Amino acid sequence: TGKQHICIMTRGPSAFTFVNLGPEHEFRAPAAAAAAGGPKGGTLRYAPLGKALSTPLSALTRRTHPLYAVARTVHAFEAAQGRPPSNDDGVALSAAAAKLVAA
């Protein structure tokens, strides 16, 4: 919708943040960097959040934190089961992870 938003979620000992700055975000470089002859700023272009969250796990770079795959797996489980996973759902979570990896 063109609106900027931020989403932060914590679950147990982990947390993650999604920030949607829109399709483009202009920024200014720190004054010291600009004074040293560096660029004064620039524009970053972002993929839509929906596209980022639907990227196949096999296409992710090594810089992607491993908890991203865990969060995607838990989300897939919750969407299918309609509830958060419990201690007894290890097999179902493994199956959800395998399905995401195979996609």
At 41-58, the pLDDT tens digits run 888 787 776 777 788 888
Residue 28 has a pLDDT of 82
Q: What's the rounded Cα separation, in Å, for the pair 22 and 3?
A: 7
Residue 92 has a pLDDT of 94
Residue 3 has a pLDDT of 62
Q: What's the rounded Cα separation, in Å, for the pair 101 and 78?
A: 17
- pTM: predicted TM-score of the whole model, two decimal places: 0.57
Residue 47 has a pLDDT of 74
Task: Fill in the amino acid letter for 43.
Answer: T
pLDDT in 10s for each residue of the chain, 103 residues: 456 666 777 777 777 677 766 777 787 878 777 778 877 888 878 777 677 778 888 888 888 888 888 888 988 899 899 998 999 999 999 999 999 888 8
CB contact burial 33-44 (16+ within 10 A = b; e otherwise): eeeeeeeeeeee
Where are the chain's structural domains? 1-47, 55-103
Q: What's the rounded Cα separation, in Å, for the pair 39 and 10?
A: 36
